[in-house]
């Protein structure tokens, strides 16, 4: 019968660590195995400055300069320097305002660059201001209560959005852009002490009789479309994204959807605008407040649409 002392036929060689003991500086308190201990080398005695040992040997690397207390390499810390700038050992020094690279499972990730449309319609605080821009262009400004502004209430009432009696035109700007006379204004929702611009409208007065037309992104919900029929363009890419509604499938509607320049411009947008005809105007509306870039965006689209409709008027 074997006992815990039996080695199961495997003898331990004397040179395989049987005489090992914990070093004294790590808490060893003597030889527990009874083996003879090797002599401990004593550090050299401290010598006066400028003198060398009798053997002429230079101090070994890590020598503490005569200290009799053993310390691991790197134990001595550098002196505290409160004014020393913080520095990352891996990334190196950073300049003021510099952000460290982002981490992650696959390393740092390059930020996505915004597209052209995102840059156009991104909110930047409107540092110039729509009315400030209009004044620089020589446009006239009114608060929406001038006699010539009465027609704007009809544009708000017939707009493709759900306007109520609490919606009214405000911040009206009139001027010329390219070949068009334009009026741009905000549709303000005002009820009690609450007033906020909800929509931006840009409209161009057109000579001649405009048939009822509604050109909207296909993804938008359609309001007040009774009596209107859809007029397809024959371009699958365009008809998938845009819908033209008209009182009849007549020359004006065909001229509009048949214009390649108009279709190309609309396909290059973010499908965020709607167009309609009312009160002798061709108008564009967007759920936003007016700013210079939006006025210019509407002006380019209205110029193309008016040009496409001109032969049919």
Of 217, 148, 139, 212, residue with least CA distance to 180: 139
Q: Which residue has the higher pLDDT, 19 or 57?
A: 19
| Model confidence at 200: pLDDT above 50 | yes
Of 279, 272, 241, residue with least CA distance to 257: 241
pTM for this model (two decimals): 0.60
Dihedral angle sign, alpha carbons of residues 103, 105, 109, 114: negative
| Model pLDDT, residue 223 | 74
Instruction: Answer whether residue 3 is part of any domain.
Output: no
Domain span at residue 223 reads 130-312
Q: How many CA atoms lie within 13 A of 265 on its CB side?
A: 17
**29: confidence class by pLDDT, cuts 50, 70, 90:** low
| Element containing residue 116 per DSSP (H, E) | helix 116-121
Instruction: Answer whether residue 110 is part of any domain.
Output: no
| Element containing residue 286 per DSSP (H, E) | strand 281-286
| Model pLDDT, residue 12 | 54
Considering its fold, how many domains does the chain have in total? 1
Instruction: Answer whether residue 80 is part of any domain.
Output: no
Residues 6+ apart with CB under 8 A from 217: 241, 242, 243, 271, 272, 273, 274
| Model pLDDT, residue 213 | 95
Cα–Cα distances in Å, from 96 out to 86, 92, 109, 245? Answer: 12, 13, 22, 57
Instruction: Answer whether residue 117 is part of any domain.
Output: no
């Amino acid at each position: 019968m074997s006992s815990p002392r039996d080695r199961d036929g495997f003898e331990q060689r004397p040179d395989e660590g049987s005489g090992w003991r914990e070093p004294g500086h790590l808490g060893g308190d003597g030889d527990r195995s009874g083996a003879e201990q090797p002599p401990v080398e004593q550090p050299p005695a401290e010598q006066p400055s400028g003198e060398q040992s009798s053997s002429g040997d230079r101090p070994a690397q890590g020598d503490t300069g005569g200290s009799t207390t053993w310390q691991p390499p790197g134990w001595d810390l550098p002196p505290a320097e409160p004014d020393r700038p913080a520095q990352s050992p891996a990334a190196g020094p950073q300049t003021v305002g510099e952000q460290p690279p982002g981490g992650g499972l696959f390393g740092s990730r390059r930020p996505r660059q915004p597209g052209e449309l995102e840059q156009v319609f991104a909110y930047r605080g409107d540092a110039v201001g729509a009315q400030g821009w209009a004044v620089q262009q020589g446009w006239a400004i009114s608060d929406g209560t001038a006699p010539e502004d009465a027609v704007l209430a009809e544009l708000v009432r017939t707009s493709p959005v759900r306007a109520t009696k609490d919606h009214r035109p405000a911040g009206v700007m009139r001027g010329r852009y390219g070949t068009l006379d334009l009026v741009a204004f905000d549709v303000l929702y005002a009820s009690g002490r609450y007033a906020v611009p909800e929509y931006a409208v840009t409209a161009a007065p057109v000579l001649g009789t405009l048939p009822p037309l509604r050109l909207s992104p296909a993804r938008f919900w359609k309001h007040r479309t009774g009596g209107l029929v859809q007029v397809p363009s024959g371009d699958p890419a365009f008809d998938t994204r845009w819908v033209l509604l008209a009182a009849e499938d007549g020359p004006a509607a065909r001229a509009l959807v048949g214009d390649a320049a108009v279709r190309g411009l609309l396909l290059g947008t973010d499908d965020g605008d709607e167009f309609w005809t009312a009160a002798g105007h061709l108008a564009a509306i967007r759920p936003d407040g007016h700013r210079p870039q939006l006025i210019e965006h509407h002006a380019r689209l209205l110029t193309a649409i008016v040009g496409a409709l001109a032969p049919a008027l």
